[in-house]
Amino acid sequence: MLASPDLVRLFATGFFLFFGYLGAVTFLTLRLNEPPFALDSDTIGSISLLGLGAVMGAPISGRLTGRYGSLTVGVVGLSIVMGAIVCLALAESVMGISGGLFLIFLGTFVCQPAVFVRIAERVPSDRRGAASSLYLLTCLGAGSLASAALGPLWTAAGWTGVTTACLTAVAASLLLLVSDRAPRRTVVAQRA
């Protein structure tokens, strides 16, 4: 699967999405703990619960993908994530942070199913589980890498540096997805 440029592009799309998404969410806790917010861990945890409401993005994405196509839905999801990161970067109130946090989760949950559909279009049905697992491993690895890589950036440039890096990563994800215009069924050969 890693020899297929079409699949590698989609795995990279997920990688950069999760680098930006989980990077921003991870360092948001540090941001909220500092002035001007200076929130305690209970309050930060309560704000983070907003992400659960955004799970509704997945079923909405499924319906919209059937109607508008996976590329369009994926692009919309990534655009929402980019807008959310900008909102989080500029927010000066708990309401602004709450809105940005909800949107970053919503955009991610809208994008993910659309990318899964694009992956499924490229692999035989007996390889879809392996493709899905590899994609999720790539995404989660990106989240872990973001936590490690953004630490020095947090120290050097603070919240502005972290959100700029996260926004850049999601923009790379968007560019990769937009370049994936021609789905080809079953690019990965079936085993004999």
Residue 122 has pLDDT above 90, yes or no: no
C-alpha 100: how far from chain center: 14
pLDDT for 3? 62
Are the beta carbons of 57 and 108 closer than 8 angstroms?
Answer: yes
pLDDT for 183? 53
Percentage of residues of the chain with pLDDT beyond 90: 74
Are the beta carbons of 77 and 29 closer than 8 angstroms?
Answer: no
Distance separating alpha carbons of residues 57 and 110, to the nearest angstrom: 5
What confidence category does residue 17 fall into, taking pLDDT thresholds of 50, 70 and 90?
A: very high
Are the beta carbons of 8 and 122 closer than 8 angstroms?
Answer: no
Percentage of residues of the chain with pLDDT beyond 70: 93
Per-residue pLDDT tens for 71-115? 999 999 999 999 999 999 999 999 999 999 999 999 999 999 999
Q: Could you tell me the two tokens for 57?
A: 């993005």
pTM of structure: 0.91
Distance separating alpha carbons of residues 146 and 182, to the nearest angstrom: 30
